[in-house]
Structure 1
Amino acid sequence: MNRLDALNSIAASASRGELTFPANVDASLKLQQALADPDCHIEAAVRLVQADPLLAARTVAIANSAAYNRSGNDITNVRTAVQRLGVRTLQSVVASLIVRQLGSTITDPQLKAKADQLWEHTAHVAALSQVIARRVTRVDPDTALFAGIMHEVGGFYLLSRAGEYPGILDGDAQEWVEHGEQAVGRGVLTKLKVPEAVMQAIEALWEGLRAIPPESPADTLLLANDLAPVASPLNENPAAIAVRAKRAASSIDCLIGEHDTLSSIMAESAEEVQSLLRVLVH
């Protein structure tokens, strides 16, 4: 099977909802679905988080990041961390765990390097999205963070399946964009029961059009993707990276409100971005 046939095959299966996940991802999917239940209360969420040591550690770490710990008072237990974050932010924490688990199943060194770079890119976009939402576009920061974490989940799924299709990642990155990114991405996002607002923001990212100055969840994600210093290894070649960098530079100094520029706001928010980034990457 040649490369394009393999991409089309994975895309077609994803479009039909025929997705193959590792066992550890299936467990996290059940947790994500429980948190997505409108009747899931804080105490139930605490019990779910405490049952997973890795998730518990990550939850406490994010609750202590600069983005969420405005008072500077660190906390040391899951219950207080969950109360500080809330159930919606917990969904983003679990989503990051799912994405990382997809990458953890990869053993081939070249594929693993791509997965590591893709996660670093994802973490940058997620951290930037959260800060841009709160400081610039004034949209819901929880939605922005979740969209940032999920925006490349289709790529992680592709990498988790790439070992079955030798050579599938050879050649022009644009072929993945044209023949698989949207179909696979939609399939995985649907499986994960991603909210419609997040789905729309990610679909807008695929289209690549945003307003200046940015104002919507889609604009937030697009701008964060443009500003991310680490590129996706799947859908950007050197020419595309140059275009993205130029596009970001053209908007970095746009006026936000009556007095601030985007560049000044992002400079003021650099510590918040780095604090959240450190938790997500490690």
Structure 2
Amino acid sequence: MMRAMNKREIFKQIALDIAEGELAFPTGAQLALKLRQALDDPDCSLDVAARLIQAEPLLAARVIAIANSVLYNRSGHEISDVEIAVMRLGFNVVRSLVMALVARQMAGVSTDPRHRELVDQLWQHTAHVAALAQVVARHVTLQNPETAMFAGIIHEIGGFYMLSRADEFPGLLEGDFSDWMDYGEEMIGRAVLKKLSIPEAVLDEMDVFWEGFLALPPETMADTLLLAEELTPVTSPLHQLDGMAAGQMQTAQIEMVIGEETLSRILNEAMEEVGSLSQALQF
């Protein structure tokens, strides 16, 4: 009889599988990755990109939704044409949306209610963090907002992949996720991101993010992501201990450095943008 593996052994095995080239994606995620490769081609034209996106109805709907969000539609003129939407957003944002589709579909479809609940909450958390990261980048850390949104989209991608392997390892979703936070998140997250050819500069920022130290005042891309994590109203289900969110700072500490009035103003001004963008990101 095969010996039962503890969670740390499971995480190590999953990371080893990835390192050996065995990155098993659901069909939907594989198609999205092919689309990403096409969009990464510098010779990919606007009309070709639009046709590729239209071939994936879910992505096409999100591209239109983001283009019509408060952040990208200052004029209030709504559009329904994918090519015009791509022109409005630019390829960098579209690539982020493709990666969002990869992340969301990576976990696959399970008949286990516990699994589905975790995936749904993890994606709601991801969408909120991605939206907040862009706002924080523009108003607080002055980092590139598009890169910040991309970082927010991929910051839990290791968790989605871990959930996709849950059926192979009985007991993986039982209990809390302390071993995931302490051991598995960085190990599997980095392995997945490297396999997806995420730029090294973004990987370096993710390494700092996984360390979990938010510098005050926040300045870097990692700080941007960590602050977005602190401010999101939807916590990650993989960062829960006995029903409580793990590692969150007191709001008072953030207010002390940024300034209560400044933080309040930023969040109030950005509330509509964050709500619109996070809703549009909901695959």
Tell me, yes or no, whether TM beats 0.5.
yes
Q: Does 1:270 align with 2:274?
A: no
1:104-183 pair list within 5 angstroms: 104-183=108-187
Q: Deviations 1:107-166 (Å, cap 9, x if unpaired)?
A: 211111011111111111001001111122111111001100100000000101101111
Q: CA deviation at 1:242?
A: 5.8
Q: CA deviation at 1:274?
A: 0.4
Aligned-pair RMSD on alpha carbons? 2.0
The structure 1 residue matched to 2:56, chosen from 52, 57, 62, is 52
Q: Does 1:2 align with 2:5?
A: yes
- In structure 1, stretches of 5+ residues that fail to align are none
Q: CA deviation at 1:42?
A: 2.3
Cα separation, 1, equivalents of 2:242 and 2:253:
18
Residue equivalent to 1:33: 37
One-letter identity of the residue aligned with 1:2: M
Cα separation, 2, equivalents of 1:242 and 1:23:
33
Q: For structure 1, which segment, 229-238 or 137-146, has the greater mean C-alpha deviation from structure 2 after superposition?
A: 229-238
Quote the sequence identity (%): 50
Cα separation, 1, equivalents of 2:198 and 2:254:
29
- In structure 2, stretches of 5+ residues that fail to align are none
Q: Does 1:236 align with 2:202?
A: no
Residue equivalent to 1:74: 78
Q: Deviations 1:47-90 (Å, cap 9, x if unpaired)?
A: 21122221111101100001111111111100110000010000
Q: For structure 1, which segment, 113-122 or 170-179, has the greater mean C-alpha deviation from structure 2 after superposition?
A: 170-179
Residue equivalent to 1:189: 193
Q: For structure 1, which segment, 188-197 or 234-243, has the greater mean C-alpha deviation from structure 2 after superposition?
A: 234-243
Q: Deviations 1:216-242 (Å, cap 9, x if unpaired)?
A: 111110100111111111133258726
Q: CA deviation at 1:260?
A: 6.4
Q: Is the 8 A contact 1:118 1:232 kept in 2?
A: yes
Q: Is the 8 A contact 1:11 1:183 kept in 2?
A: yes
TM-score for both structures, normalised by structure 1: 0.92
Structure 1 residues 255 and 172 mapped into 2: Cα distance closer, same or farther (>3 Å)?
A: closer
Residue equivalent to 1:250: 253
Residue equivalent to 1:227: 231
Number of aligned pairs? 279
